[in-house]
């Protein structure tokens, strides 16, 4: 079993380049199914979730090539059967996007119920409600969701909750439906806008992405395209949090500063200096962090996917902070792990109260999910002594070359096998 081992409290310096956005890539790759030609997608992050979804398409009959590390060329024309079995999709939440894409293409789809990060109930009722408005019926049978329509016809959908997944899935199903589909109370995340731009580059007519009303005018055909994915907002935010934890001065490159505003505002409130440039930001931390309160919200609020990382740095801030997780029911499982490092956190339902300590101390910890794992790295970089992080496969689902990138900015971090004597003695 592999672990990440970090000797903390080394200041970070230099430059780091952010990869393409995971949550855009895992929506855009299934969207290729809708095309009648070859799609070339650039700025693809080389991470497990993206490689998995590309492999699923390949096993369904698509031709997938990787002409270089950050580009995928996908020819979906070999996909004839709109069925994705449990064996193919079980590790990935975002495989549910195949439902919308296959439904949009074939007017029917069968996809095994999704897996992915476990932080509370992850319903798909809003996705199915959208499909129903478009004329598709669903049943759940043998662990598969099966959706089918005689013909997809546009309609008016008002989402009960702001859901990224439902917004994506309904856009995918609607793009070739007859007439206009209107999605109200739609999610506004940057990856929703990126998906809309990608679909439009294939010839779709999607308007309003980035606002809470999205209008999709159905088209008959989608064509080949070349498209470059936006940079990853959460990867960038994680490096920002890491500098806030360890201290130092780092230029974070290949970012869209606008996408980072809610994170930037919170870090500034904590006393971190952030300079914004066209496609990079500089993060400087030279004194102890101040406490602050954080509430997660759909975009443009503070992202839930940055909640564990910001909590990790608040454990070392001066004073008491309150973190309110307003998106997911159970996203505090990592707190137990931070406590091993000396953090003082109490959790009551969706609230965590954090009493800042001077500094955390290294300890053996686990990555309980993707962002929880990122939070362990962030905490360990600011902690005294050695931290060993187990279950790093969760981290590798979403962070490209995480060890190499941190090492390049001066972190004492390495990946080791657990039978490596260095780990046992560390």
Q: Among 323, 365, 320, which Cα is nearest to 340's?
A: 365
Residues 6+ apart with CB under 8 A from 258: none
Least Å distance, CB 123 to ligand EPZ, is: 4
Residues 6+ apart with CB under 8 A from 331: 119, 120, 304, 307, 308, 325
Neighbours of 422 (CB within 10 A): 12
* Residue in 126, 197, 245, 321 binding ligand EPZ, rule: CB under 6 A: 126
94 binds ligand EPZ (CB under 6 A): yes
What span, in angstroms and rounded, lies between the C-alpha atoms of 364 and 83?
A: 42
Q: Are 116 and 122 in contact (CB under 8 A)?
A: yes
DSSP 58-73: HHTT-EEEEEETTEEE
Spell out, one character per residue from 12 to 51, where the chain touches ligand EPZ: x when CB under 6 A holds, - when not: -----------x--x-------------------------
Least Å distance, CB 284 to ligand EPZ, is: 27
* Residue in 35, 95, 107, 163 binding ligand EPZ, rule: CB under 6 A: 163
Binding to ligand EPZ (CB under 6 A) within 183-242 occurs at: 187
158 binds ligand EPZ (CB under 6 A): no
123 binds ligand EPZ (CB under 6 A): yes
Tell whether the torsion through CA atoms of 60, 64, 70 and 71 is positive or negative. negative
Residue showing the smallest CB distance to ligand EPZ in the complex? 165
305 binds ligand EPZ (CB under 6 A): yes
What span, in angstroms and rounded, lies between the C-alpha atoms of 171 and 193?
A: 11
Least Å distance, CB 20 to ligand EPZ, is: 13
Least Å distance, CB 96 to ligand EPZ, is: 8
Number of residues lying near ligand EPZ (CB under 6 A): 25
> Is 292 a catalytic site residue?
no
Which of 34, 60, 88, 117 is labelled catalytic? Answer: 117
Q: Are 55 and 65 in contact (CB under 8 A)?
A: no
Query: What residues line the site for ligand EPZ (CB under 6 A)?
Result: 23, 26, 93-94, 117, 121-127, 161, 163-166, 187, 304-305, 327-328, 370-371, 398
């Amino acid at each position: 079993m592999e672990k990440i081992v970090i000797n903390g409290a080394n200041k970070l310096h230099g430059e780091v380049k952010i990869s393409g956005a995971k949550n855009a890539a895992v929506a855009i790759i299934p969207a290729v199914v809708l095309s009648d030609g070859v799609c070339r997608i650039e700025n693809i992050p080389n991470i497990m979730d993206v490689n998995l979804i590309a492999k699923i398409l390949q096993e369904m009959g698509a031709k997938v090539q990787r002409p270089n590390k950050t580009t995928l060329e996908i020819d979906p024309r070999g996909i004839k059967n709109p069925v994705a079995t449990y064996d193919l999709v079980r590790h990935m939440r975002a495989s549910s996007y195949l439902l919308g894409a296959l439904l949009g293409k074939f007017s029917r789809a069968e996809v095994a119920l999704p897996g992915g990060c476990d932080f509370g109930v992850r319903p798909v009722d809003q996705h199915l409600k959208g499909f129903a408005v478009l004329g598709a019926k669903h049943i759940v049978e043998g662990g598969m969701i099966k959706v089918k329509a005689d013909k997809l016809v546009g309609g008016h959908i008002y989402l009960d909750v702001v859901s990224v997944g439902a917004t994506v899935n309904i856009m995918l199903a609607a793009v070739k439906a007859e007439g206009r589909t209107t999605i109200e109370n739609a999610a506004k995340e940057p990856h929703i806008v990126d998906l809309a731009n990608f679909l439009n580059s294939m010839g779709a007519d999607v308007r309003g992405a980035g606002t809470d009303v999205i209008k999709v005018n159905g088209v008959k055909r989608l064509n080949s395209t070349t498209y470059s994915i936006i940079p990853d907002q959460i990867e960038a935010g994680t490096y920002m949090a890491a500098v806030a934890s360890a201290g130092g001065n780092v230029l974070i490159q290949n970012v869209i500063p606008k996408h980072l505003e809610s994170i930037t505002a919170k870090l500034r409130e904590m006393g971190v200096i952030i300079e914004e440039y066209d496609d990079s930001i500089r993060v400087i931390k030279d004194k102890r962090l101040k406490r602050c309160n954080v509430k997660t919200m759909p975009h443009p609020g503070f992202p839930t996917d940055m909640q564990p990382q910001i909590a990790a740095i608040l454990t070392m801030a001066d004073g008491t902070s309150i973190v309110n997780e307003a998106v997911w029911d159970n996203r505090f499982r990592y707190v137990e792990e931070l406590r091993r490092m000396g953090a003082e956190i109490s959790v009551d339902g969706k609230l965590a109260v954090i009493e800042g300590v001077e500094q955390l101390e290294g300890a053996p910890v686990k990555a309980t999910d993707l962002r929880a794992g990122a939070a362990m790295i962030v905490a360990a970089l600011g902690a005294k002594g050695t931290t060993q992080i187990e279950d790093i496969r969760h981290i590798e689902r979403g962070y490209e070359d995480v060890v190499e990138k941190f090492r390049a900015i001066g972190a004492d971090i390495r990946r080791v096998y657990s039978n490596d004597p260095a780990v046992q003695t560390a």
